[in-house]
Amino acid sequence: MKKIGFIGLGIMGSRMAINLQKAGFSLIIYNRTKEKANNLLNNGAMWVDTPKDVAQNADIIITMLSTPEIVKEVALGYQGFLSSFRDNSLWINCSTVNPSFTREMESSAKKIGIRYLDAPVAGTKRPAENGELLFLIGGDTSSINEAAPLFNSMGKKTLHLGKVGAGASMKMLINQLLGQSMVAFAEAMVMGEAMGLEKDTLFNVLLNTPVVAPVISTIRPKIENADYEANFPLKWIQKDLHLSSICAYEHNVAAPNLNTTKEIFAQAKQQGYGDLDFTAVYKYLNLKK
């Protein structure tokens, strides 16, 4: 069985790596904070001190990192893994990055004989924990087939959307709609409460109309119980909306709603909500609370 390198053990990556381990894969892991790797290490994963060391020991590398800048540093920077990866090895990038960036990473990998898959995921902490993620994949079919056992261990479904960049493109749209839907619902809730309607009534009526995105029903308990422990940190949806706005600029697409939503989350982040769940935008907008 091939050795799998895994870089990035945050909320999502740590759970994805555990599912790979449960499926019997041998892991070589690197993370900026070693303490986050303790569960994996206790179950037999191999720790290395640099991304470069991952490449020297692994056949396939999976990255699950927070920003394009960090992905680039880990891959191409000092002690980056690309320069030490064996010829024809496979890099699977599950990080949420913009399409032009993911194509740039493919180009860098291709120049030195490394294959690349663009494979961001749809899903948050619970689906990652349960191995129920949706993989949105751009890349060649042979590499996807090779990686299928990995995707099947971490997710419930894979969608091959086309060439590298297609996966990132779809992820941009999904998170764009998620952010916009959350802000729209939060605004409606705050306005309804200001007009004297009870919160329970607002939930029970609005969530049973076709005008509210279905995802809102799944996050109702977060708002209802003021439970803002992060499943999807607010600072990261703001980052994703920013990346989506870059896509809009690159393709000469007007996106006023996207940019307004991005700035609402940016304001919430500035006010100290960044490490809370993205649903905390309701708390931010509900200033009287």
Could you say which of 52, 72, 171, 262 is catalytic? Answer: 171
For residue 273, what are the β-bridge partners? none
H-state helical runs in the chain: 11-22, 38-42, 51-57, 68-76, 99-111, 125-130, 141-154, 166-194, 199-206, 215-224, 234-250, 256-268, 281-285
For residue 116, what are the β-bridge partners? 91
Are the C-beta atoms of residues 28 and 58 closer than 8 Å to each other?
A: yes
Measured CA to CA, the distance from residue 210 to residue 283 in angstroms comes to: 24
Q: Is 171 a catalytic residue?
A: yes
Backbone angles phi, psi at 225, to 5 degrees: -100, 10
DSSP 164-177: TTHHHHHHHHHHHH
Measured CA to CA, the distance from residue 177 to residue 175 in angstroms comes to: 5
Q: Tell me the two tokens of residue 266.
A: 């940016």
Measured CA to CA, the distance from residue 289 to residue 281 in angstroms comes to: 12
Catalytic residue positions?
A: 171
